[in-house]
Amino acid sequence: MASLITGDSGVADDLAADALAEIWRYWDRVTAAPDPLAYARGVLVNIARNWNRRHGLEERGARLASLFRREHTTTDADVSSALDVRAALRRLPYRRRACVVLRYAFDLSEREVADVLGISVGTVKSQTSRGAAQLAGFLAESSAQSDPRVALAPNRAGGLR
């Protein structure tokens, strides 16, 4: 989860370790929580959000679900697609990225995402919708750059992309 939210696997390892240390430090609160796993996710998301703020990454994140749920052998195309998705995720603002990752990669309900992020269900819905649309646009841009034929394909309005 930390890797998808931050876009950096090295940093993600450190953040996951920090989250585990915080969870251990407040173990009584974790075990008293109605859903300890949601509490732990919240700790990780908060640590990642703070890291993002400190490093100025707030503004930098329908293929997502299929990429994260694939159960077949990895091919070069799969790796390339996963790298495209990760690069696109990094371009999303933090809250949108967190909503998209928690909803699609971790298959949490809107209520669970709201609880983890400490926001309303309506905000989760809007941020997830906007994030998914923005992500699709980023991925389309990436496809157009890697395949010139896509850039010359007519769009819905009849013009070129």
pLDDT tens string 4-57: 888 788 888 999 999 999 999 999 999 999 999 989 999 998 998 888 777 654
Span 108-127, average pLDDT: 93
In a domain, 52, yes or no: yes
Using the predicted structure, report yes or no on whether residue 112 has a pLDDT greater than 60.
yes
CATH of the domain at 42: 1.20.140.160
In a domain, 159, yes or no: no
pTM equals 0.53
Span 95-120, average pLDDT: 91
In a domain, 70, yes or no: yes
Q: What's the pLDDT band for 159 if we cut at 50, 70, 90?
A: very low
For the stretch 50-84, pLDDT in tens is: 887 776 544 433 444 444 554 544 444 455 555 67
Span 81-95, average pLDDT: 81
Using the predicted structure, report yes or no on whether residue 96 has a pLDDT greater than 70.
yes
Q: How many domains does the chain have?
A: 1
User: What is the 3-state secondary structure of the chain?
Assistant: CHHHHHCCHHHHHHHHHHHHHHHHHCHHHHHHCCCHHHHHHHHHHHHHHHHHHHCCCCCCCCCHHHHHCCCCCCCHHHHHHHHHHHHHHHHCCHHHHHHHHHHHHCCCCHHHHHHHHCCCHHHHHHHHHHHHHHHHHHHHHHHHHHCHHHHCCECCCCCEC
In a domain, 160, yes or no: no
Q: What's the pLDDT band for 158 if we cut at 50, 70, 90?
A: very low
The domain of 69 spans 2-151
